[in-house]
Amino acid sequence: MTDDRDKTGGQGEGPGEPPAPLEPFPTHLPESPFPPLYESLPPPQEAPPDPPSDWIESADAHDLPTRENTLVALGRFAFPPAPPLDDEGVAARDRRWTSRTIVTATVFLIVFNAVSPLNWARQQPPGWLPQTVERLSEVWTEQLAVFGVDMPRRGLRESWDAAREARFIGQGPAQRTGSTSPSD
């Protein structure tokens, strides 16, 4: 294989010189990645005229066949995408999102703040509802305590109590004036 620019065909520069070895040494230049110089370009040819237009007025570009993964196509067939939402749809979607947020927060608190209904029930005057809530809450709180889900609240409370008990240097003990500690 010879380079186009090696006009001697690998036979050396002059008649008295030894021929350049071709193989196995890569003495020739690799093929240039760049296009040849302008002068060496063939003269531009006239482009053939455009074929008559095959434009179909009623066609939509989105209708043109495109290559699609078979599974995706199957999925699209089985679960066709919903049409874009109108204002009402957007509002309904946002409402659902808000409701899910509220429900998640509520469930989180029912689990991690289970002592709250118990405290509430104990603060109420005696009656059917407070007693029922108290019994249910006691069972619920005890069951959850087995899994240690009351630990975050307890830990926070202890840290807060420690901060509350802290005093300036040389200051006497606290003067407690009000009920400040929830019964958990």
Partner 1 sequence: MLFPTLAFGVFFLFVYFTAWSLDRENGRRKVFLLLASWFFYAQWDWRFVGLLILSAVLNWGVAALIAGRPGRRNGWLVGLGVAANLLILGFFKYYGFFVEQAGELLARFGWERDLPLLQVILPVGISFFTFQGISYLVDVHRGKTPPAKSLLDVMLLMSFFPHLVAGPIVRASDLLPQFERAPRLTRVMATHGLLLIVWGLFKKTVVASELSVNLVDPVFFDPSAHSAFDIAAAVYGYAVQIYCDFSAYSDMAIGLAALLGYSFPRNFDQPYRAASMQQFWRRWHISLSSWLRDYLYVPLGGGRKGLFASCINVFITMVLGGLWHGAALTFLAWGALHGGVQVIERLGRAAFGDRKVLPTVVGVLVTFHIVCLGWILFRAESFELALAMLEGLGRIGPVEVLTPLLLTLIVGGLAMHWLPPRAVEGMAERLQAAPSVSLGLLIGAAVLLVEAVRPEGVAPFIYFQF
Binding site for partner 1 (CB under 8 A): 87, 91, 94-95, 97-109, 112-113, 116-117, 119-120, 123, 152-153, 156-157, 160, 163-164, 166-168, 171-172, 174-183
State the minimum distance, in angstroms, from the CB of residue 107 to partner 1: 8
- 68/120 with CB nearer partner 1: 120
Output 32 or 101, the one with its CB closest to partner 1.
101
In sequence order, which ranges of the chain are alpha helices (DSSP H)? 70-78, 87-112, 115-123, 128-146, 151-165
**Of 74 and 108, CB closest to partner 1:** 108
Nearest approach in angstroms of CB 72 to partner 1 is 24
Q: Which is nearer to partner 1, 16 or 148 (CB)?
A: 148
CA distance 127 to 123: 11
Least Cα distance to 156 among 136, 182, 137 occurs for: 182
The 10 Å CB-count burial string (b at 16+, else e) for 97-112 is eeeeeeeeeeeeeeee
As measured in angstroms, the least distance from the Cβ of 171 to partner 1 is 6
117 near 133, Cβ under 8 Å?
yes
Listing DSSP states for 111-159 in one string gives HHTTHHHHHHHHHSPS-HHHHHHHHHHHHHHHHHHHTTTTHHHHHHHHH
Of 3 and 184, which has the nearer Cβ to partner 1? Answer: 184
Say how far residue 46 (Cα) sits from the centre of its chain. 53
Minimum CB separation of residue 98 from partner 1 in Å reads 4
Whichever of 76 and 100 has its CB closer to partner 1, that residue is 100
> Shortest gap between Cβ of 80 and partner 1 (angstroms)?
24
Nearest distance in Å: CB 119, partner 1: 7
Q: Give the Cα separation of 87 and 93 in Å (integer).
A: 10
The SS3 assignment for 162 reads: helix
